[in-house]
Structure 1
């Protein structure tokens, strides 16, 4: 099945389209020619809306029922309002990476009752309400890599009983407190790659009783300073797979910028590629 999904005003003249493409609000007269800015919808059993790179400034709202996969990456979306996903209840996989999102409200994703995978990589998100994903009971994978996140002190970062994979790589995180992950009881995979964490206490990970794998490859270091000894020992004793540099003395050894850059790009894309391969394998 292949069709086109109109997501902007159905009749915009040339000047109106210019305003839309440049994120300028337009209240002038419409004309008969429909907008050419469309999402392609494909799929046999499940419907996929491919809306990447369409210069959208807001979440599209029209004709979006029965969709399972929506790719809104590489647009100009800046804010996710409370009712933006009101008609997206059927969506299970949502890509919002490579936008300019800086604000998420507490109930922004509440209507996405079937959401299992959400990618918000490479945006401008600083603060996320702790209960932002409280109503997403099926959400298992959340990607927040490459955002200027501010992790609250002495408070849970996020609260979710369903989340099993969390990517907060390359977010310029310098410290994590013992309460950061205390409200993610089923988290099993944690990606902390590329953060300049100068030290981290094993007590940060003790609340994550189901943690199985942790990624802690830090840009610029082949090994970590001695204070990490206890943390790495904790991973070993609890059979947690640790992907990162070993402890070294006396000083960390810098690695080349090229290696760091290639590594970061590859790690950011891993989970997205896995999801796409899964769908291809299932022939949907």
Structure 2
């Protein structure tokens, strides 16, 4: 038994299902544990963690996956993710994070981040400045929030030029500006299902890479017309008013 293994045994509570030098998987925790600096994947889900401070993750510069889904997080301190420069996947879905708790520094150091999960939260708006250094991001999950509209500046203010998948399903979106997605030239998959759209937004014509568009279960006007060039567009059933 190595010294590191002994430390891990003391570190990991009984709710941890994996506790090794490079992978830690735990459930039902009250706070983020002090993982060793060799950790590459830290998955602490289904607990009551309520905040992410700027110290507990500061030594985990080798980490590529951080999952904090299904907790009670409402506060992310400034520079909480500052040293996670090799992080490629960040899951923060199913928490209590509001739009006010995010700013342009929250994800600014995550320049290798490819997948960001921000679904099922309390986000009422999106600020493009959150993603100013997100050139590597390919998948952005924003489903199940409280978004009501998408204006023209949201993604134009960001650096999401390589984003391929955007999920905005299960929101309260009633309005989409025609220039909303202009900052997403490589977008391939867009999900706007289960929102409150009545008319087809004239926002898809310049998405030349778009191959999957889901508009299922919206509140469509019977006179709504579509001008789409996608390979697959799903409208499915919905309301016609």
TM over 0.5: yes
Alignment of 1:19-98 (within 5 A): 36=14, 40-42=18-20, 47-53=22-28, 56-62=29-35, 64-98=36-70
Equivalent residue number for residue 225 of structure 1:
198
Q: Secondary structure at the match of 1:166?
A: strand
TM-score (norm 2): 0.78
RMSD of aligned residue pairs (Cα, Å) = 2.8
1:138 aligned to 2:112? yes
Work out which of the two has the higher radius of gyration on C-alpha atoms and give 1 or 2. Answer: 1
Q: Secondary structure at the match of 1:6?
A: helix
Judged with a 3 Å threshold, the aligned counterparts in structure 2 of structure 1 residues 52 and 36 are, in CA distance, closer, same or farther, namely closer
- Greater helix share, 1 or 2? 1
CA contact (8 A) 2:143 2:169 kept: yes
TM-score (norm 1): 0.67
Equivalent residue number for residue 233 of structure 2:
none
Q: Structure 1: which 5+ residue stretches go unaligned? A: 9-34, 256-284
Equivalent residue number for residue 241 of structure 1:
211
CA contact (8 A) 1:157 1:180 kept: no
CA contact (8 A) 1:194 1:217 kept: yes
Output one character per residue of 1:65-101: Cα deviation in whole Å (capped at 9) or x when no partner: 2121111011111111111201221110111000000
Judged with a 3 Å threshold, the aligned counterparts in structure 2 of structure 1 residues 141 and 130 are, in CA distance, closer, same or farther, namely same
Equivalent residue number for residue 227 of structure 2:
none
Equivalent residue number for residue 151 of structure 2:
177
1:38 CA displacement: 5.1
How many residue pairs end up in the alignment? 215
* Alignment match of 2:96 (pick from 118, 121, 124): 124
Equivalent residue number for residue 111 of structure 1:
83
Equivalent residue number for residue 205 of structure 1:
181
Q: Structure 2: which 5+ residue stretches go unaligned? A: 225-236
CA contact (8 A) 1:151 1:180 kept: no
Any runs of at least 4 consecutive aligned residues in structure 1 with deviations exceeding 4 A, and if so which? 35-39, 232-235
Judged with a 3 Å threshold, the aligned counterparts in structure 2 of structure 1 residues 144 and 60 are, in CA distance, closer, same or farther, namely same
The 1-side partners of 2:168 and 2:16 are apart by 36
1:39 CA displacement: 5.9
Equivalent residue number for residue 168 of structure 2:
192
CA contact (8 A) 1:144 1:168 kept: yes
Q: Secondary structure at the match of 1:190?
A: strand
Q: Secondary structure at the match of 2:137?
A: coil
* Alignment match of 1:158 (pick from 131, 154, 159): 131
- Greater strand share, 1 or 2? 2
